């Protein structure tokens, strides 16, 4: 199958989540005896774009920065048609949700979001999807000729090689597209590490007592090179900025390590963090629901545990 991967660019390079999408797309291509082409829209040098080859892509098609979301969908639709692609893969994100849904409509193609594994192509095209905020899985068979997939983070272990891919710059006329949904500016989160792509996240809840008590958590995050996050009430109370709020109604994260400090573990919080590989919970209440979802639990006061953890990390 001819696979097209929609890769997002940030700060002049391919986003980490998109690297995983490329690796996934290349696996689908090799599983079905096809090619893996990347479509990247934004700003990046040819050398950076060529690195898509590290993850298995055989070609990169590049379209320079575009502000109009409708134009993204138009470009994707045109490239799917011109390359004869039958599978489109993207990392799940706010942008890919908007773009893939519109392209699926234009192409009359089936769209599966939250895909958690490689497709089963032994009889048709069936994907496993995470549903009900991660509480269940659905097997979805896509019967259209073109299938669009948005994959969840951490669904495949990425191993990068050293191959590079040739880059071709395309020019696609999008002037007729409706400009009602435009990216006017991008405001970067202030944290040192980007939350959606972080390998380690240290997160605080109401158990942190107030914004003036956040320093022990920030110290641990700094020692670990981690991003910081929080529960919804914490951002509602303005203890922490809204972009740190994780959960059903916030950012969905899937780091290798999620450390929850003084968070009860409500289902709406778990919905945004339960794809993390290892979850560590620090809570003074041994009955806190979060312990049921934890790989490691520390029953104790965050203000006693956090400084000890930070000291131990620094000692390592
Ligand atoms: C429609 C809807 C959507 C929602 N979406 C989200 C969402 O996206 N994200 C989200 O987080 N929530 C969401 N919520 C809210 C959610 O239901 C919980 O209310 C919220 O997650 C609780 O936040 P918390 O754990 O920080 O606070 P609490 O429930 O108050 O828990 C605080 C925890 O800290 C512990 N603690 C207290 N002091 C200490 C100490 N000194 N040391 C160690 N532990 C201590 C306590 O034992 C307790 O377990 C949503 C709710 C609704 C209804």
- Measured between alpha carbons, how far is 217 from 97 in angstroms, rounded to an integer? 33
Strands (E), the chain: 3-10, 13-14, 36-42, 59-64, 87-91, 110-115, 126-131, 136-141, 147-151, 167-169, 200-204, 227-230, 257-261, 278-283, 296-299
pLDDT at 68 over 70: yes
Span 11-19, average pLDDT: 93
Q: Is the pLDDT of residue 220 over 90?
A: yes
The residue nearest atom 11 of ligand 1, judged by CA position, is 231
| Overall average pLDDT of the 123-149 stretch | 93
The residue whose C-alpha atom lies closest to atom 30 belonging to ligand 1 is: 206
Task: Quote the ligand 1 centre to 265 CA distance (angstroms).
Answer: 6
Atom of ligand 1 nearest to the CA of 285: 47
Q: Are 74 and 42 in contact (CB under 8 A)?
A: no
Residue 209: its pLDDT value, please?
97
Using pLDDT thresholds of 50, 70 and 90, give the confidence band for residue 70: confident
- Apex CA 290: angle with CA 289 and CA 294, to 5°? 130
Tell me: pLDDT of 189 over 70. Answer: no
Mutate to test the pocket of ligand 1, among 213, 217, 228, 247 (most ligand atoms within 8 A of CB): 247
Indicate the pTM of the whole model: 0.78
pLDDT at 28 over 90: yes
304 Cβ below 6 A of ligand 1 = no
pLDDT at residue 40 in the model: 97
Distance 262 CA to ligand 1 centre (A): 8
DSSP assignment of 17-81 = HHHHHHHHHHHHHHHHT--EEEEEEE---HHHHHGGGGGT-SEEEEEE---BHHHHHHHHHHHHH
Q: What is the mean pLDDT of residues 267-295?
A: 95
DSSP string, 254-276: --SEEEEES----HHHHTTTTT-
Based on its alpha-carbon atoms, the radius of gyration of the chain, rounded to whole angstroms, reads 21
Q: Are 75 and 63 in contact (CB under 8 A)?
A: yes
Q: Is the CB of 268 under 6 A from ligand 1?
A: yes
pLDDT in the model for residue 191 = 57
Q: What is the pLDDT of residues 190-213, one digit of tens each?
A: 656 778 888 999 999 999 999 999
Provide mean pLDDT across the span 161-181.
87
What the chain holds in terms of domains, given with CATH numbers, is 3-169 (3.40.50.620), 195-315 (3.40.50.1220)
pLDDT at 190: 62
Task: Say how far apart CA 296 and CA 315 lie, in whole Å.
Answer: 21
Mean pLDDT value across residues 124-128:
96
Ligand 1 contact, 169 CB (< 6 A): no
Ligand 1 centroid – CA 263 distance (Å)? 5
Kindly state if the Cβ of 289 falls inside 6 Å of ligand 1.
Answer: no
* Ligand 1 pocket residue status of 203, Cβ below 6 Å: no
Q: Is 252 in the pocket of ligand 1 (CB under 6 A)?
A: no
Ligand 1 mean position, distance from CA 154 (Å): 25
Question: Could you tell me the distance, in angstroms and rounded to a whole number, from the CA of residue 234 to the centre of ligand 1?
Answer: 8
- Segment among 91-100, 103-112, 127-136 with least mean pLDDT: 127-136
Q: Name the residue among 127, 182, 156, 188 with its Cα closest to residue 18.
A: 156
Cβ atoms of 254 and 153 closer than 8 Å: yes
Is residue 6 within 8 A of residue 100, CB to CB? The reply is yes
Q: Do the Cβ atoms of 240 and 246 come closer than 8 Å?
A: no
pLDDT, one tens digit per residue, over 240-275 is: 999 999 999 999 898 999 999 999 999 999 999 988
Beta carbons within 10 angstroms of residue 297's beta carbon: 18
Q: Is 213 in the pocket of ligand 1 (CB under 6 A)?
A: no
| 240 in contact with ligand 1, CB cutoff 6 A | no
């Amino acid at each position: 199958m001819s696979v097209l991967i929609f890769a997002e660019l940030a700060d002049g390079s391919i986003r980490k989540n998109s690297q995983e999408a490329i690796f996934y797309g290349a696996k689908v291509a090799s599983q079905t005896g096809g090619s893996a082409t990347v479509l990247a829209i934004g700003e990046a040098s040819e050398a950076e774009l060529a690195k898509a080859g590290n993850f298995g892509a055989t070609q990169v098609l590049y379209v320079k920065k575009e502000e109009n979301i409708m134009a993204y969908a138009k470009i994707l639709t045109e490239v799917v048609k011109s390359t004869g692609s039958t599978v489109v893969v993207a990392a799940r994100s706010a942008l890919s949700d908007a773009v893939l849904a519109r392209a699926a409509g234009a192409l009359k193609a089936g769209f599966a979001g939250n895909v958690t594994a490689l497709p089963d192509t032994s009889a048709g095209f069936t994907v496993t999807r995470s549903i009900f905020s991660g509480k269940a899985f659905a097997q979805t068979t896509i019967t259209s000729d073109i299938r669009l997939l948005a994959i969840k983070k951490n669904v495949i272990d990425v191993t990068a090689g050293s191959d590079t891919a040739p880059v071709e710059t395309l020019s696609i006329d999008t002037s007729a597209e409706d400009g009602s949904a435009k990216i006017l500016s991008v405001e970067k989160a202030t944290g040192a590490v980007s939350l959606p792509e972080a390998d380690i996240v240290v997160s605080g809840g109401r158990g942190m007592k107030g914004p003036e008590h956040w320093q022990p958590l920030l110290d641990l995050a700094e020692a670990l090179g981690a991003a910081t996050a929080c529960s919804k009430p914490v951002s509602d109370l303005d203890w922490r900025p809204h972009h740190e709020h994780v959960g059903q109604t916030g950012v969905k994260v899937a780091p290798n390590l999620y450390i929850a400090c003084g968070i009860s573990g409500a289902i709406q919080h778990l919905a945004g963090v339960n794809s993390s590989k290892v979850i560590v919970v620090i809570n003074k209440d041994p009955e806190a629901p979060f312990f049921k979802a934890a790989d490691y639990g520390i029953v104790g006061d965050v203000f006693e545990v956090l400084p000890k953890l930070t000291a131990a990390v620094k000692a390592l």
